[in-house]
Chain A
Amino acid sequence: MTLTSFDYLLFLPIVFLLYWILFSKNKTIQNIFLLFVNCVFYSLWDWRFLALLLVTVFSTYYLGNSVHRYNGKKKTLLLIVGLFINLGILFYFKYYNFFIESITNLLLLLKINVNLTTLNIILPVGISFYTFSALSYLIDNYQNKVSPSDDFLAYCTYVTFFPAILSGPISRAQKQLPQFSYKRVFTYQNGAEAFRMILWGAFLKLCVADRLGIYVDTVYGNFLKHNGTTLFLAQLLYTLQIYSDFAGYSLIAIGSGKLFGINLQENFKRPYFAQTVTEFWRKWHISLTTWFRDYIYFPLGGSRVKKTRWALNIIIVFTISGLWHGAAFTFIAWGAIHGLVMIIERLIYGDKLKQLTERRSINSLFRVFLTFNLVSLIWIFFRIDTFNNAIHIIKAIFSDTGKPFIDIPTLLPAILSVGIMLSKDLSDEYNCRFRLLENKSIIIRFITYIMIICYILLCGVLDGSSFIYFQF
């Protein structure tokens, strides 16, 4: 059941009503009900992996609480055990085959023939996300940023929380776990805000991302046949597709969480308005980048080290980030290139890098344009399956011009939807006073809701599609 499926449209209101009408007496009853719903939701994907999820829950809870009681070597040992178990599970399911194939290819280069077998492994849905949410508890306890929780039920519910378990936002023990430790109360304002988020998220996913995806998939599915102009257009549209797909999903997840009184981490802040790639990463997949920042970048020394060490830290973090997204060298390349660009930005702008993004001018518009195109180009490595194919596409974009492949019935509704998305993002980015979704007048708000729902019904891709980030 994806968050834009018809099943979810039936599932969510039923769960919402049951939760607030029958199961809201106290936090324990709320959590028991939510935990039950979480397990049912996850089981609908694949009940076999529920056990694996529970291993993560139990191990991180027990070790997270234990790690707090000790100091010195034993404390570190418990942390290592916890990381080993959970990252080990993640490694096995996600990276084992990639690791074996890479080792085999490397040995072949050295003219050593080794017969290592790959396994037929199914990737458990959401493993990259819930593992990180759970590890946040373990690591925060180690760093004494949180106190051990004596409420196992709340912890279980926190890790398995259904809106976020499949594709984030990645929850953090410091921010999200405490919310499960007290009774949630429904307010009309929260409900209305949640509804708006879910509605706008559904629009982004169904009307923008999935529409663009039809064209993008057609071109990328046969990219050798298309000229550079078409590939450039497809790359541009893919840039918008991946944003609207993931931002849309995140909004639906955050809105769904809000319906139950839980505030999940904001995940996107209009990243394509960033003036630098550095700023882009403060606005894109915020829950993941802050996780890497807090648990890898800062422990490595962050920016409070020599420049060369700092550059190395950036490359490490972004290479790992690339690898997190997928078990392939293209993802690693994607991450590493972003890291490299950030290093170059720091070299060019130095200490003025942060101040740069606080000002708005003609120059800032130019920087937004440049950053957008740079990020767009780098997305090619994310989309395509091999490094060679990515290079082929980039070469074609810069050398093989021609008439673009235009399919009006597909592109017209997509462009219209992009225009609507852009209008709202511009309005939000530049703090436009007049808002439609959040207008003070209930009539304008209702008209806007109705128009969006009608638009989704008429122009959304409603015959089922999965989120791009589901593959992670």
Chain B
Amino acid sequence: MLFIIFCITDTVIGKSLSLLLDIIPNNGNDITTTPYALNKVDADVLIVGSSRARHHYNPRIISDSLKLSTYNIGKNGNYLSYNCCIINSVIERYQPKIIFFDIKHDWLLEKSSDSMKSLYPFYHKNNIIKNAIIDNEGSRIKIKLLSKLYAFNDIALRMIIRYLQGGKDHDQLQGFDPLYGSKITELDVETKHQSGGDSISKKKMELLEKTICNINAKGIKVYLFDSPFFQEEKIEYTSALDSALLDICKRCDVRFYDNRYVSGLSDNIEFFYDFSHLNNDGAELYTNYILEQIKE
């Protein structure tokens, strides 16, 4: 009896939360990034990636330069599997002209975090997402996601707060989330970013390659970037991981811009909010830099 009442409650609250997610105004908050990307975005240029995409690429600058509408669907704390899934789902709905895919080099490592939790609320609504989640997390997730509430674990409270905050359903910054100032202090000592160490995941490599091929098949231009880190001097990246990434790009005939070190940007602490994220000034400089790169 308890189990039956729980199932009914789970379904009712789960469906309510699903509806709520659809109606929360999209004014640049992290919660609505995914539903907006899946259901509504229709820009000519899409910027995809993690927090580094979200904070590093200014859509307004790209839009002004390329004369194409641009939207940044980068999402904090979401990496390879999430982004590949988002790309595959979005381009199934519509075909943008260009995709800027910001990919961090260590996404391809076996041990790197790759949760698809942000996509759980869409598990029952989208087959591409459903299959991707099962593929990434194993068949056990099918049992867990029988619970509609489980899909909203960790975000329900934030959703409710966002909804209550209200606001217009319009994101002036087109998904871009600028950071201001710098948190880097003299106490911080880590300045080098090395690739490798852990083993490369064959599964992740295949996923990336498959996604890029899918983008190409739809006639969409795609550029891969690894955006800057703060580092005082240039490091030559020659690990197996770097080679693996280059191999994928060669096979898919895609340009990869390894911008981990950009002279005048990466070595200047004033452009960084923290070691991995540019601040607004840095993002402006970097966006202009990549536009020059692709024009070349």
- Footprint of B on A, CB under 8 Å? 6, 224-225, 409, 412-413, 416, 446, 449-450, 453-454, 457-463
Contacts and interface: CB of A to CB of B under 8 A. Distances in A.
Contacts of B185: 225
Nearest to B156: A458
Given A6-B144, A225-B187, A454-B10, A462 B153 contact: yes
Given A224-B187, A463-B115, A412 B140 contact: no
Interface in B178-237: 185, 187
Contacts of A225: 185, 187
A461 B115 CA distance: 14
A450 B3 CA distance: 9
A449 B140 contact: no
B5 interface: yes
Contacts of A412: 157, 161
A146 B124 CA distance: 59
A6 B143 CA distance: 10
Contact of A462 (B9, B150, B161): B150
Per DSSP, chain A at the interface is helix
Interface string B99-118: 00000000000000001010
A306 B256 CA distance: 79
A458 B149 contact: yes
B13 interface: yes
Contacts of B144: 6
B115 A459 contact: no
B2 A450 contact: yes
A211 B140 CA distance: 24
A454 to B, nearest CB: 6
Contacts of B143: 6
Given A225-B185, A450-B9, A454-B13, A460 B153 contact: yes
Given A409-B158, A413-B157, A457 B2 contact: no
A400 to B, nearest CB: 14
A457 B117 contact: no
B6 A459 contact: no
A450 B6 CA distance: 6
Contacts of B156: 458-459
Contact of B140 (A6, A413, A458, A462): A6
B79 interface: no
Interface in B1-37: 1-2, 5-6, 9-10, 13
Contacts of A449: 2, 6
A446 B6 CA distance: 9
Per DSSP, chain B at the interface is helix
B295 to A, nearest CB: 39
Nearest 4 pairs between A and B by C-beta?
A457-B149, A458-B156, A457-B150, A462-B153
B271 interface: no
Contacts of B288: none
A417 to B, nearest CB: 11
A416 B158 CA distance: 13
Contacts of A457: 10, 147, 149-150, 153
Nearest to B151: A457
A459 B187 CA distance: 35
Contact of A453 (B1, B6, B140): B6
B152 interface: yes
Contacts of A462: 150, 153-154
28 contacts: A6-B143, A224-B187, A409-B158, A412-B157, A412-B161, A413-B157, A446-B1, A449-B6, A450-B2, A450-B5, A450-B6, A450-B9, A454-B10, A454-B13, A454-B149, A457-B10, A457-B149, A457-B150, A457-B153, A458-B149, A458-B153, A458-B154, A459-B153, A459-B154, A461-B154, A462-B154, A463-B115, A463-B117
B203 to A, nearest CB: 20
Contacts of A416: 157
Nearest to A206: B153
A401 B154 CA distance: 32
A303 to B, nearest CB: 49
Nearest to A458: B156
A14 B88 CA distance: 39
A460 B10 CA distance: 15
Contacts of B149: 454, 457-458
A463 B117 CA distance: 9
A446 B158 contact: no
Contacts of A458: 149, 152-154, 156-157
A459 B5 contact: no
Contacts of A454: 9-10, 13, 149
Contact of B157 (A6, A224, A459, A463): A459
Contacts of A446: 1-2, 5
Nearest to A449: B2
Interface string B131-144: 00000000010011
A454 B8 CA distance: 11
Interface in B124-178: 140, 143-144, 147, 149-150, 152-154, 156-158, 161
B144 to A, nearest CB: 6
A79 B164 CA distance: 67
Nearest to B159: A458
Contacts of A224: 187
A450 to B, nearest CB: 5
A225 B157 CA distance: 29
A432 B158 CA distance: 33
Contacts of A461: 154
B160 to A, nearest CB: 10
A460 B149 CA distance: 11
Contacts of B161: 412
Contacts of B117: 463
